[in-house]
Amino acid sequence: MVKSNFPKRGEVWWVCFDPSIGTEMKKTRPAIVMSNDSANEFLERIQVVPLTSNTARVYPSEALVTVQGKKSKAAADQVATVSKKRVYKKIGSLNARDLAEAEYVLKIQLGL
């Protein structure tokens, strides 16, 4: 059976990051789904890059993206594997250029 309502790569969903420790991202916030759709469909966890509205300073492991007309910063240094139970509402999808930027900074962060 093929599931059609799973989070897909490049989509932005609300994700609950609590409880967090130290400087990990906190609270419920938007995040970009970065894992591949085959894994996203069948596994109970996905990889995400959290977004923040604080866009004042952008580091090499961060990218500016637009979600529903609003600028956000993708924080690839905070990439996380989360249970799908933490993911609860789709906000939208990145355009191809913004997804490519998020992929680029994630590669920088991971040294790929």
> Is-contact 34 106, C-beta < 8 A?
yes
Other Cβ atoms less than 10 A from the Cβ of 77: the count is: 18
pLDDT tens-place values along the chain, 112 residues long: 445 689 999 999 999 999 999 999 899 999 999 999 999 999 999 999 999 999 999 999 999 999 999 999 999 999 999 999 999 999 999 999 999 999 999 999 999 9
Query: pTM for the complete prediction?
Result: 0.94
Instruction: Please choose, from the candidates 102, 63, 100, 80, the residue with its C-alpha nearest in 3D space to the C-alpha of residue 29.
Output: 80
> Is-contact 70 26, C-beta < 8 A?
no
Q: Which domains does the chain have, with CATH numbers?
A: 11-110 (2.30.30.110)
